[in-house]
């Protein structure tokens, strides 16, 4: 069972359809027991960082999810804002504390003209062709769909496993043990996104 976390700020139905495409059982939930019983958890997110963390704390999901991530060490996938919530802090509309799972900060994109913020559209990923997450995806054809104004700045470069170029390198995918997170929307990225999700579902972390 894959649990998609529902805290009121995620594109949960599109994700549900993407996983159902491969025949996986999916539940959309904020229930502690269901999250504990799930084999994997997906944390989506659309909107502002501070609002998302408030919604998560109001549902006690910060403690529930941190237990699953850091104690149980269950495979957890963050998507878009969900990825940013893995960080320690964000400077979006003030200072906000994140879940703190990745040693990173969230900062506003700084891009030269004529590029604009938010970054919206298809961009190519730069990644290692032998990485399990991108198995079956050719680097030259690795386009994914982005919608974001802020990006993750990691203190540990080893956490960054894929970047994209938008006026300079931008963190696109991070990984730390049982945690994986993507700045783009795999569920909106057609065949490449579906393949990445399939690779994640079949992965067993060694931690």
Sorted by where each starts, the structural domains of the chain and their CATH numbers stand as 2-202 (3.40.50.880)
User: Catalytic: which of 80, 119, 151, 198?
Assistant: 80
Reported as a single tens digit per residue, the pLDDT across 77-90 is 999 999 999 999 99
User: Catalytic: which of 96, 119, 148, 185?
Assistant: 185
Provide the pLDDT confidence category of residue 29 given band limits of 50, 70 and 90.
very high
User: Catalytic: which of 16, 92, 148, 187?
Assistant: 187
* Active site annotation includes 151: no
* Active site annotation includes 187: yes
* Active site annotation includes 93: no
Length of the chain: 207
Mean pLDDT over 97-108 rounds to 98
Please report which helix (H) or strand (E) contains residue 13, including its range.
helix 12-21
Provide the pLDDT confidence category of residue 5 given band limits of 50, 70 and 90.
very high
Alpha-carbon distances of 88 from 97, 101, 109, 131, rounded to whole Å: 6, 7, 17, 26
Largest Cα–Cα distance of the chain, in whole Å?
Answer: 49
Give the mean pLDDT of the chain.
95
């Amino acid at each position: 069972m894959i649990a998609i976390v529902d805290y009121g700020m995620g594109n949960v139905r599109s994700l549900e359809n993407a996983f159902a495409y491969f025949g996986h059982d999916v539940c959309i939930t904020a229930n502690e027991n269901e999250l504990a019983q799930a084999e994997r958890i997906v944390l989506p997110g659309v909107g502002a960082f501070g609002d998302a963390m408030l919604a998560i704390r109001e549902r006690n999901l910060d403690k529930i999810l941190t237990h699953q991530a850091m104690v149980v060490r269950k495979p957890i996938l963050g998507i878009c804002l969900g990825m940013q919530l893995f960080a320690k802090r964000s400077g979006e509309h003030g200072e906000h504390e994140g879940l703190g799972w990745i040693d990173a900060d969230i900062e506003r994109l700084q891009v030269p003209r004529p590029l604009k913020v938010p970054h919206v559209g298809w961009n190519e990923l730069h990644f290692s062709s032998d990485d399990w997450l991108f198995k079956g995806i050719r680097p030259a054809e690795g386009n994914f769909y982005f919608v974001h104004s802020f990006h993750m700045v990691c203190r540990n470069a080893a956490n960054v496993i894929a970047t994209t170029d938008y006026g300079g390198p931008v963190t696109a995918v991070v990984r730390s043990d049982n945690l994986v997170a993507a700045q783009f929307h795999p569920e909106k990225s057609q065949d490449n996104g579906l393949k990445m999700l399939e690779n994640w579902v079949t992965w067993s972390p060694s931690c």
